[in-house]
Amino acid sequence: MPEAECERLVTEALEMGYRLIDTAQAYGNEAAVGRAIRQSGLAREDVFVTSKLSSIINEGQAVQAIEGSLDKLDIDYVDLFLLHAPWGIVMRPGGPWSGS
């Protein structure tokens, strides 16, 4: 989806009363989503923002990816960060997210 269309749709959703916005690195729309949120006039704490990490290999990449999302969104925090499609190397025993 083109950035301008994404921004317009998120703006309309916020104007209609939506207060949960879901985005992801894989969607390539974080900048447009962030602009719509910032320009809405709503207090940041009144909009719940979810984003998702793309497939990553280690903790260092996760930190970089989260910081990258925050930069693109240009907001201070994301309310919920999820692993986007956590399969394969991400979930293998002894892998970075296995807890072992």
Q: Which residues are catalytic?
A: 27
Run of H or E including 83? strand 80-83
Distance CA 27, CA 55 (A): 13
Angle at 35 between CA 16 and CA 65, to 5 degrees: 120
